Amino acid sequence: MAQPETWRTFVALPLSPAVIEKLSAIQRTLRRIGTEQAVAWVNPDNIHLTLFFLGDIVLERRQPVETALGVVARHAHPFAFNVQGLGAFPNVKRPRVIWVGVEDSTGRLALLHRAVNEALASIGFQPEERRFSPHLTLGRVRQRASREEEQAVGEAIRQTEVGVLGEVLAEELIFFRSVLKSSGAEYTPLARYRLGMGD
């Protein structure tokens, strides 16, 4: 019996072109410092603020997800967040993920994340247990990177000053499909939702 087709999916907020360009500039700076071979860099056009990673879902679950997200978006409100700072998970001494931070003084980003989490949990998805740590992934240190290369990446992060890159107005929620290719991930919007359209 054939396995049902599955799609790798996630929910995210898009960024402004101006912020994407600044993130791209940071990537270029880090590359020049000598992290080129050790890091798999994210295509700047693919950088976004992930709210929920659903993983591989069977296609029959697409419609319930889209319906649940539509309800969340209608009851949410547009808000702004700042993009600022540079760091790594788990830390700069042993970097695996290079990120730029997100600052949400309104608290609305956390509320939106919780609403998405609860809505998807209500239709059978495993809720995210870990604390929400909003960030924008610039690149991932390759598994084959040596300890010296890891240290070089960490030093490059420490040397790179990143202040406030800009403000992003969150007005739209997007349900994406991700297709992994040899050239990198390719993201296709499956559904878009304007925030606050239920008011």
Provide the residue ranges of all domains of the chain, joining segments of one domain with +.
Answer: 6-194
pLDDT of residue 195: 97
Which regions in the chain score pLDDT beneath 50?
Answer: 199
What is d(CA 72, CA 70) in angstroms, rounded to the nearest whole number?
Answer: 5
pLDDT at 130: 84
The proportion of the chain whose per-residue pLDDT surpasses 70, expressed as a percent, equals 97
Q: Point out the catalytic residue in the list 75, 77, 113, 135.
A: 135
196/99 Cα distance (integer angstroms): 29
How confident is the model at residue 129, as a pLDDT?
82
Single-letter amino acid code for the residue at 101: G
Is 75 a catalytic site residue? no
Question: Which positions ≥6 away from 192 have C-beta within 8 Å?
Answer: 172, 173, 174, 175
Our answer to whether residue 113 is catalytic in this structure is no
pLDDT tens digits for range 7-46:
999 999 999 999 999 999 999 999 887 667 889 999 999 9
Residues forming beta bridges with residue 89, ordered by sequence position: 97
pLDDT score, position 34: 65
Q: What share of the chain is helix, strand, coil (3-state, %, to 5)?
A: 35, 35, 30
- Give the model's pLDDT for residue 16: 96
pLDDT of residue 198: 57
- For 147-165, the pLDDT digits (tens) are 999 999 999 999 999 999 9
**Domain 6-194: CATH architecture, name and number where available:** Alpha-Beta Complex (3.90)
